Amino acid sequence: MDISKRHLTLLCDFYELTMANGYLNSGLKDQIAYFDVFFRKVPDGGGYAIAAGLEQIIEYVKSVHFSEEDIECLRKKNIFDEEFLAYLKDFRFTGDIWAVPEGTVVFPHEPIMTVRAPAPEAQFIETFVLLIFNHQCLMATKASRIVRAANGRAVSEFGSRRAHGPDAAIYGARAAYIGGCNSTACTIAEQMFGIPAGGTMAHAWVQMFNSEYEAFKTYCELYPNNATLLIDTYSVLESGLPNAIKVFKEVLTPEQIKRAAIRLDSGDITYLSKKCRKRLDEAGLTDVKILVSNSLDEYIIRDIIMQGAQVDAFGVGERLITSKSEPVFGCVYKLCAIEDKDGNITPKIKISENAAKITNPDFKDLYRFYSKDTGKAEADLLTLHGEVIDENEDYELFDPNHIWKRKTMSNYTLKKLLVPIFINGECVYKCPSVSEIRDYCKHEIESMWDEVLRFENPHNYYVDLSQDLWDEKTMLLRGRGKIVKK
């Protein structure tokens, strides 16, 4: 399932090919273009998102090429010039890419990736870049919300069987781990990424035996150091829990094994978990944990914890792997500049009657302000590429959604978020392990104020434009997409 070992070149929108053919016919084959990748709205009305998927994009960009079969497939369409088909024989990515590292907290309208390359190359990778970011950013963001709702309790990703195909299961598990999940039920994710995989039993195991007691006893004898018993096949309180307690005492206690768990997969989780905890403690099984599953999400988890549910860990499946509450992330890929042979950059802007769809022009840098007093992230700033921000001077920021609101930054440090990934077609970035990305993501979340992280009505995090970028954007808007010279 490694992307670099699969031939996915034609996994693209067809218009990428018609435009590339047109660029050659129009003399624009070597025209350098800049594209920004960004999203417009945080899913679920949240205040932040998590960047994920960069490693798979790198694998694709490294390996993208057209095979003879690809070219013959396109030839049969009878719309492409032979000159263009010949060009595809030697096609590879030769440009530059900058991106935020995976696990970075990101916000609407700021580039999480910028691509600079000859127009056919820059345009062609659009579909793959978007499908990877749109999926993994969504999964990592949803997982982060669920993990935060669990408030320190372990969360396992359980969603493979509800995922929209094999890749959605595998890379969904990867992104969920980045977002903070402790483990996954998707076994191949451990093989591919080193993500801890685990599981217990299905109801079928219990039904396969003549009695629930026999099913539990057999399982504990087979897996004494990893015994988690599913106790809701018949009746949780009348048979499931009593049989589990009996088996734990008969099989595990004599071996001085204390690590064990029960799992609830149906019913009133709050009520049942309280009852189970009480009876387990009365039986002297205070170390036995309670794991729950059954169509959970961040809202249900938050509510049952507030109601006093006695839960030690959560298994979250369909509502995570499909992001059921809002299954579209909405990353877009927009032209922001072109560059001539002398290196002069001309900014480009997309104008719309829908203000949210107006783009930020030009080749840009992205900075994050951190308070030296608290260590917390305070705001992000988009600047023209190469602009210098003096950390010794105060800096006034405006809330772009409420331009009368402003804050003055002083006593701060700056971090440049976009880092080089490809230079002249060569990858210059070493991908960290998924565990390192997960740790970095945890640190990123800790750097955010709680007001930004809350689920409802989060604080609007400042993402401002530098004065020079703001002035340029204003001139382009006044000139309907062209710079108005004074």
Q: CB atoms < 10 A from the CB of 213, how many?
A: 17
CATH pick for 140-321 out of 3.30.465.10, 2.40.30.10, 3.40.50.1110, 3.20.20.70: 3.20.20.70
CB 91 within 8 A of CB 5: no
Q: Residue 1's pLDDT is what?
A: 58
- The fold of 3-139+330-357+418-458 is nicotinate phosphoribosyltransferase (3.20.140)
For 143-160, give one letter per residue: b (16+ CB within 10 A) or e: bbbbbbbbeebebbbbbb
Alpha-carbon separation of residue 194 from 173, 190, 316 (angstroms): 11, 4, 20
Where do runs of H (alpha helix) occur along 234-351?
241-247, 269-282, 298-306, 318-321
Matching residue, tokens 């504990």: 220
Expressed in angstroms, the distance from the first to the final Cα of the chain is 56
pLDDT (0 to 100) of residue 485: 46
For residue 176, give the amino acid letter.
A
Q: 248 with 220: CB under 8 angstroms?
A: yes
Residues spanned by CATH 3.20.140.10 within the chain? 3-139+330-357+418-458
Contact 339, 35 (CB under 8 A): no
Query: 81 with 21: CB under 8 angstroms?
Result: yes
Going from the C-alpha of 256 to that of each of 109, 227, 263, the distances in angstroms are: 56, 13, 21
Read off the DSSP letter of residue 197: B
**3-class DSSP state for residue 395?**
strand
Q: Read off the tokens for 470.
A: 């703001």
Q: Are 288 and 260 in contact (CB under 8 A)?
A: yes
**Predicted pLDDT at 396:** 86
Q: Name 338's Cβ contacts closer than 8 Å, sequence gap at least 6.
A: 31, 32, 33, 34, 119, 345, 346, 348
**What secondary structure does DSSP assign to 60-115, as a single string?**
HHHH----HHHHHHHHTTS-S-HHHHHHHHT----SEEEEPPTT-EE-TTS-SEEE
- 96-99/419-423 β-pairing: antiparallel
b/e for 48-80, b at 16 or more Cβ within 10 A?
bbbbbbbbbbbbbbbbbebeeebbeebeeeeeb
Cα–Cα dist 314/289, whole Å? 11
Backbone angles phi, psi at 441, to 5 degrees: -60, -40
The one-digit pLDDT tens for each residue of the chain (486 residues) are 576 678 999 999 999 999 999 999 999 999 999 999 999 999 999 999 999 999 999 999 999 999 999 999 999 999 999 999 999 999 999 999 999 999 999 999 999 999 999 999 999 999 999 999 999 999 999 999 999 999 999 999 999 999 999 999 999 999 999 999 999 999 999 999 999 999 989 999 999 999 999 999 999 999 999 999 999 999 999 999 999 999 999 999 999 999 999 999 999 999 999 999 999 999 999 999 999 999 999 999 999 999 999 999 999 999 999 999 999 999 999 999 999 999 999 999 999 999 889 999 999 999 999 999 999 999 999 999 999 998 889 888 877 666 667 888 899 999 999 999 999 999 999 999 999 999 999 999 999 999 999 999 999 899 999 999 999 999 999 987 776 544
Question: Which regions of the chain carry the CATH code 3.20.20.70?
Answer: 140-321
What span, in angstroms and rounded, lies between the C-alpha atoms of 148 and 131?
26
Question: Which pTM does this prediction carry?
Answer: 0.95
User: What string of H, E and C letters represents the secondary structure of 41-75?
Assistant: CCHHHCCCEECCCHHHHHHHHHHCCCCHHHHHHHH
How far lies 281's CA from each of 154, 253, 295, 374, in Å?
21, 14, 27, 42
Sign of the CA dihedral running 364, 370, 376, 381: negative
